[in-house]
């Protein structure tokens, strides 16, 4: 790869380059998932195709439905025993690899260091695995006496037809003091982990939210939805919230407990960080209990300040608003000093971000604060609303894959439904520019002419890097080494490599320092694989 930078490039040429090698049918499909941001001045931005099956043969970055359910939503809860019903690999590879941290708290109840699995064998596939599952639940109960046990289905469980829900019901009745429930989150159930989020949202809402009836007396009670405490992000956010005097009743689900979920209905506002993974719970909390929700983002110091102010404005209490301003004034000077220092080296550097269903958007805030420009970005499994904003939801085509995921009916609770604001109060806030239930998505925040790509794959990732030579590429472990081999620094934005937290004020400082070092390092551009230095055999493919 040449070390000279392409300064001028035409996004249409780049798109064409990416599609060139594909067979025509594949190219046509991929063309709808590669979008030049707001290509035309006059027309509405083109629709992006998202949340559809990856074309067979393409090496996707996506994960499976089980990963979204067990790994993402339920996994970070420390005092629920999460049993993977399936072959051992599914449980093992989803065991702490996401770096969702936890603090055991005064009760010390923490099952996260354990990997619970039924370890299905050939004979269980042939004769059925229900008995083995029953025995596993009993064993976990006898050993730990947890408040809850969750069962996660892997692909073979769905294929052989084990009734995990019947087993869960039976064991819940038998054990008496342990909430046992199951998830039909077989890996193949949806087109990505996104389906697993939805399945987890439904089940945790049905079986757990609202169970703790004990009223809560604290002030300014919120739920923090879609924060998973990766690399300690949630610890930093909780520190800031506490300093402001805001009570976080329940985080879904970073560093969370059974009781947090069970008490979520006591909050007066739901703050949604990751819209993709948890918007279903936000909506259901509103429908059933009358708790409004707003979109927040604690990635980026400015974004954190803005989100705190948004919470303050909702409660509308002078004492809280003053405290929030005091906290921001106290935290910002350090952040600004470091930002100013790194900016002298990072200004004008370029990045690409291809992560999950929200970080490819949120992290652009941090890069902006460093004066860095995002050339290209996209989600692995975002839906159209995560790109184009929630206003497109009514136009989203429901296909067979989405129908596969249950839509549950939720109604206002006859006793507990209590609108937190009157219609007039809501209207007054909205008239003043306040947005409820609103998310604008990634597209409006990206520059014109940048390239937005859904479900980027291995081939396109390498091609993009080759053509645009970014100063930094952000994705996950599957992409890490191939990008570094192209001579470009790579930062994992799922697990944060071994770093973090990056949320809140202290997190922003961590991020600035780390990215400064990464984009300033020349080491990757000196790298040459042995076969590049001394080719032993050269050949061409038949199509070349
Ligand atoms: Fe939400 Fe996440 Fe993300 Fe996600 Fe994920 Fe994750 Fe992610 Mo990896 S819940 S959509 S399914 S912010 S595990 S903490 S980093 S892909 S961008």
Q: What pLDDT, in 10s, does the model give residues 185-211?
A: 999 999 999 999 999 999 999 999 999
Per-residue pLDDT, 440: 96
The answer, yes or no, to whether the previous bond of 285 is cis (omega within 30 of 0) is no
Q: Would you place residue 333 in the very low, low, confident or very high pLDDT band (cuts 50, 70, 90)?
A: very high
Alpha-carbon gap, residue 96 to 61, rounded angstroms: 19
| Strand residues in 314-388 grouped as ranges (E) | 350-354, 373-378
Burial class (CB in 10 A: 0-12, 13-18, 19+), 411: exposed
Task: Read off φ and ψ for residue 376, nearest 5 degrees.
Answer: -150, 145
Alpha-carbon gap, residue 144 to 243, rounded angstroms: 35
* 178, 57 contact by CB (below 8 A): no
236-279: per-residue pLDDT in tens?
Answer: 999 999 999 999 999 999 999 999 999 999 999 999 999 999 99
Alpha-carbon gap, residue 174 to 171, rounded angstroms: 5
**473 three-state secondary structure:** strand
Give the closest residue (by CA) to ligand 1 atom 14: 228
Alpha-carbon gap, residue 315 to 44, rounded angstroms: 36
Question: Active-site residue 62, yes or no?
Answer: no
Query: What proportion of the chain, given as a percentage, has pLDDT over 70?
Result: 97
Question: Active-site residue 197, yes or no?
Answer: yes
Distances in whole angstroms, Cα of residue 105 to Cα of each of 108, 242, 252: 5, 16, 17
Alpha-carbon gap, residue 187 to 196, rounded angstroms: 8
* 533, 266 contact by CB (below 8 A): no
Mutate to test the pocket of ligand 1, among 227, 255, 256, 356 (most ligand atoms within 8 A of CB): 356
Which of 62, 98, 198, 359 is catalytic? The answer is 98
456-475: per-residue pLDDT in tens?
Answer: 999 999 999 999 999 999 99
Alpha-carbon gap, residue 137 to 151, rounded angstroms: 9
Any residues with Cβ below 6 Å from ligand 1, and which?
A: 68, 72, 98, 193, 226, 228, 230, 274, 276-277, 355-359, 494
Alpha-carbon gap, residue 172 to 169, rounded angstroms: 5
Which helix or strand (DSSP H or E) is residue 181 part of? strand 179-183
Per-residue pLDDT, 39: 60
Q: Calculate the average pLDDT of the chain.
A: 95
Question: Active-site residue 64, yes or no?
Answer: yes
348-366: per-residue pLDDT in tens?
Answer: 999 999 999 999 999 999 9
Average pLDDT over residues 515-533: 88
Per-residue pLDDT, 528: 80
386-398: per-residue pLDDT in tens?
Answer: 999 999 999 999 9
Partner residues linked to 473 by β-bridges: 352, 490
**Ligand 1 nearest atom to the CA of residue 380, by list position:** 16
Task: Read off φ and ψ for residue 19, nearest 5 degrees.
Answer: -90, -15
Per-residue pLDDT, 535: 77
- Prediction pTM value: 0.95
Question: Active-site residue 339, yes or no?
Answer: no
**Ligand 1 nearest atom to the CA of residue 476, by list position:** 8
Alpha-carbon gap, residue 199 to 74, rounded angstroms: 11
Residue 536 has pLDDT above 80, yes or no: no
Give the closest residue (by CA) to ligand 1 atom 1: 274
Which of 78, 197, 359, 362 is catalytic? The answer is 197
142-176: per-residue pLDDT in tens?
Answer: 999 999 999 999 999 999 999 999 999 999 999 99
């Amino acid at each position: 790869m040449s070390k000279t930078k392409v300064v001028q490039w035409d996004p249409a040429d780049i798109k064409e380059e990416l599609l060139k090698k594909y067979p025509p049918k594949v190219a046509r499909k991929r063309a709808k998932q590669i979008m030049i941001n707001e290509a035309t001045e006059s027309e509405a931005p083109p629709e992006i195709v998202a949340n559809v099956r990856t074309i067979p043969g393409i090496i996707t970055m996506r994960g499976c439905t089980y990963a979204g359910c067990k790994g993402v939503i339920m996994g970070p809860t420390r005092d629920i025993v999460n049993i993977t019903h399936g072959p051992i690999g599914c449980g093992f590879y989803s065991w702490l690899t996401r770096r969702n941290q936890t603090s055991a708290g005064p009760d010390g109840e923490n099952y996260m260091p354990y990997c619970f699995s039924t370890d299905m064998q050939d004979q269980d596939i042939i004769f059925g695995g229900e008995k083995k599952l029953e025995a596993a639940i009993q064993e976990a109960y006898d050993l730990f006496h947890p408040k809850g046990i969750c069962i996660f289905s892997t692909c073979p469980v769905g294929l052989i037809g084990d009734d995990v829900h019947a087993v869960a019901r039976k064991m819940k009745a038998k054990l008496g003091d342990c909430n046992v429930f199951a998830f039909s989150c077989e890996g193949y159930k949806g087109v990505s982990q996104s389906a697993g989020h939805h399945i987890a949202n439904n089940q945790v809402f049905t079986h757990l939210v609202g169970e703790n009836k004990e009223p809560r007396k604290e002030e300014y009670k919120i739920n923090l939805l879609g924060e998973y405490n990766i690399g300690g992000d949630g610890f930093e956010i909780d520190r800031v919230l506490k300093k402001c005097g805001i009570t976080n009743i329940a985080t879904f689900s970073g560093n969370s407990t059974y009781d947090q979920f069970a008490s979520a209905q006591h909050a007066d506002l739901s703050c949604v960080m990751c819209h993709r993974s948890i918007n279903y719970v936000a909506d259901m909390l509103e429908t059933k209990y009358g708790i409004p929700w707003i979109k927040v983002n604690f990635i980026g110091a400015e974004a954190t300040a803005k989100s705190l102010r948004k919470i303050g404005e909702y409660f509308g209490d002078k004492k809280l608003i003053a405290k929030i301003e005091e906290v921001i004034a106290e935290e910002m000077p350090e952040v600004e000093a470091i930002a100013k220092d790194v900016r002298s080296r990072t200004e004008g550097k370029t990045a690409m971000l291809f992560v999950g269903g929200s970080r490819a958007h949120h992290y652009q805030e941090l890069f902006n604060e460093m004066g860095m420009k995002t050339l290209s970005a996209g989600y692995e499994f975002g839906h159209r609303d995560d790109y184009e904003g929630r206003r497109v939801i009514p136009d989203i085509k429901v296909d067979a894959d989405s129908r596969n995921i249950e839509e549950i009916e939720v109604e206002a609770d006859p006793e507990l439904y209590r609108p937190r604001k009157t219609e007039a109060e809501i209207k007054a806030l909205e008239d003043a520019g306040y947005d409820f239930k609103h998310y604008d998505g990634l597209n409006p925040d990206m520059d014109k002419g940048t390239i937005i790509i859904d479900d980027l794959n291995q081939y396109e990732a390498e091609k993009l890097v080759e053509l645009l030579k970014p100063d930094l590429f952000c994705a996950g472990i599957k992409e890490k080494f191939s990008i570094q081999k192209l001579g470009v620094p790579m930062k994992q934005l799922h697990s944060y490599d071994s770093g973090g937290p990056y949320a809140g004020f202290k997190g922003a400082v961590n991020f600035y320092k780390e990215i400064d070092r990464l984009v300033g390092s020349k080491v990757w551009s000196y790298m040459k694989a042995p076969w590049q230095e001394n080719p032993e055999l050269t050949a061409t493919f038949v199509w070349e």
